[in-house]
């Protein structure tokens, strides 16, 4: 990769993508963002909106090196019949972030087409202007594995919690084979659970931290109570208090991804982008209660399953947590040898979860709820 300062980014309007685009532009890269218009919003406007949501008040000068191109990743030619509509001044680093990340997709076949076939479409169509591929996968191609998961490992016969994990592993295998065929250097990065920005508390994805906050907000709304008040003094939670879900804030993850893009030594390797020291569920839950002002007023009872009868609060928790429980209760740890070799200060990039941070997450979630409610038309 060396001196390459031109990037092609799919998924530039996504959670990681918007933060990465901001970092690259600030570091002097030229960025070509590929994606589609949606619901009346032009692709260029979608990208700018995502940058604003990522907390960047970009000036026209900041955006001088950002070029947005309409593209359809579901089509083999990406919707570019004939020649590509852009030609970077230098061969580019292609960062493929776009994908279907839903744990429960309405159409699993369509999700596979997006995550596997869409990845191959991107590589084939952009091959003439690409010097290096950075494929963004997920640490959870590890599926239901336990113990240490090494960066060098992929398919070892593991099972999967959902179709998302399975299709992301299929995409890794497929893109490796295609890059070998083309002689293109490939780097695979595997982020873990990506959660809210450390500076603003914002998130464009619904993370498990948002779930914790949203459950508390719904309970308050349902019972008409505020911070510092509780309905149940005893709540059972189907979570292992000692488990350490690997949740990493988006901003250090995007910064690490940019550093990997700039390292000539990254080609041909796989990198876990995970929190180096994840915190235990019990510690995070205690801090959430502190952030809502209810610590000491409620007793969380950690159970393996929720036997009936359930309280209304427990029903809300069970529904909200259902798809996240495999990640909250995971017992896998992720090797970071390659990542630390490229980024010696990697561990210091990650702050611990604090009550102050959770206050930011709560403020963001409440502002989002208020905005969404205002945008919803009322029927009389």
In a 3-state reduction of DSSP, which class is residue 81? coil
197 contacts 55 by C-beta, under 8 angstroms: yes
Q: State the pLDDT at residue 303.
A: 94
Q: What is the mean pLDDT of residues 150-167?
A: 97
Q: Read off the pTM.
A: 0.94
Token pair in block for residue 222: 């349902």
pLDDT at 38 > cutoff 90? no
In a 3-state reduction of DSSP, which class is residue 87? coil
Beta bridge partners of 194: 248
The distance in angstroms from the start CA to the end CA of the chain is 59
| Residues contacting 189, CB < 8 A, separation 6+ | 134, 135, 136, 137, 257, 260, 270, 271, 273
Assign 376 a pLDDT band (cuts: 50, 70, 90): low
Q: What is the mean pLDDT of residues 264-276?
A: 97
Q: State the pLDDT at residue 377.
A: 62
Q: State the pLDDT at residue 106.
A: 97
Give the β-pairing of 332-334 and 6-10. Answer: unpaired
**Half-sphere exposure (Cβ direction) of 194: Cα atoms closer than 13 Å:** 25
Q: What is the mean pLDDT of residues 329-346?
A: 96
pLDDT in tens, 282-329: 999 999 999 999 999 999 999 998 889 999 889 988 888 888 999 999
144 contacts 193 by C-beta, under 8 angstroms: no
- Please tell me whether the peptide bond between 351 and the residue prior to it is cis, using omega within 30 degrees of 0: no
Assign 348 a pLDDT band (cuts: 50, 70, 90): very high
CA distance 294 to 95: 43
Give the β-pairing of 66-70 and 193-195. Answer: unpaired
Token pair in block for residue 253: 């993850």
Q: Which helix (H) or strand (E) holds 186?
A: strand 186-191
pLDDT at 271 > cutoff 80? yes
352 contacts 278 by C-beta, under 8 angstroms: no
Q: State the pLDDT at residue 222.
A: 87
Q: Which position has the token pair 């590589």?
A: 123
Q: State the pLDDT at residue 42.
A: 96
The angle formed by the CA atoms of residues 215, 221 and 224, to the nearest 5 degrees, is: 135
CA distance 8 to 103: 27
**What domains appear along the chain, each with residue ranges and CATH number?**
6-194+246-273 (3.40.50.720), 196-245+278-330+352-375 (no CATH)
Beta bridge partners of 189: 136, 271
Average per-residue pLDDT for the chain: 93
Q: Which position has the token pair 């450390």?
A: 198
């Amino acid at each position: 990769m060396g001196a390459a300062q031109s990037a092609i980014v799919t998924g530039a309007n996504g959670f990681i993508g918007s933060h990465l685009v901001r970092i690259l532009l600030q570091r002097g890269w030229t960025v070509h963002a590929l994606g589609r218009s949606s619901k009346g919003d032009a692709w260029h406007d979608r990208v700018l909106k995502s940058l604003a949501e990522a907390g960047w008040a970009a000036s026209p000068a900041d955006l001088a090196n950002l070029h947005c191109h309409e593209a359809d990743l579901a089509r083999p030619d990406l919707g570019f019949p004939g020649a590509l509509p852009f030609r970077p001044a230098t061969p580019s680093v292609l960062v493929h972030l776009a994908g279907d990340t839903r744990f429960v997709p309405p159409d699993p076949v369509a999700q596979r087409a997006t995550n596997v076939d869409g990845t191959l479409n991107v590589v084939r169509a952009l091959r003439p202007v690409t010097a290096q591929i950075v494929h963004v996968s997920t640490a959870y191609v590890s599926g239901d594995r336990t113990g240490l998961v090494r960066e060098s490992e992929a398919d070892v016969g593991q099972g999967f919690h959902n179709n998302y994990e399975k299709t992301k592993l299929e995409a890794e295998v497929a893109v490796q084979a295609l890059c070998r065929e083309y002689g293109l250097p490939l780097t695979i990065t595997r982020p873990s659970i990506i959660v809210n920005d450390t500076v603003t508390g914002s998130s464009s994805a619904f993370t498990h931290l948002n779930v914790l906050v949203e459950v508390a907000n719904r309970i308050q709304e349902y019972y008409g109570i505020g911070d510092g008040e509780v309905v149940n003094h005893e709540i059972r939670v189907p979570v292992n208090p000692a488990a350490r879900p690997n949740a990493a804030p988006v901003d250090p993850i995007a910064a690490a991804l940019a550093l990997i893009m700039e390292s000539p030594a990254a080609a041909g390797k796989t990198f876990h982008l995970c929190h180096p020291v994840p915190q235990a569920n019990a510690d995070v839950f205690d801090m959430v209660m502190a952030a809502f002002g209810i610590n000491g007023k409620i007793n969380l009872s950690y159970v393996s399953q929720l036997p009936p009868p359930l309280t209304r609060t427990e029903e809300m928790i069970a529904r909200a947590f259902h798809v996240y429980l495999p990640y909250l209760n995971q017992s896998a740890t992720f090797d970071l040898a390659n990542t630390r070799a490229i980024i010696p200060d990697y561990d210091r990039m990650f702050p611990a979860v604090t009550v102050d941070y959770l206050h930011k997450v709560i403020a963001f979630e409440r502002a989002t709820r208020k905005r969404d409610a205002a945008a919803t038309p009322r029927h009389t």
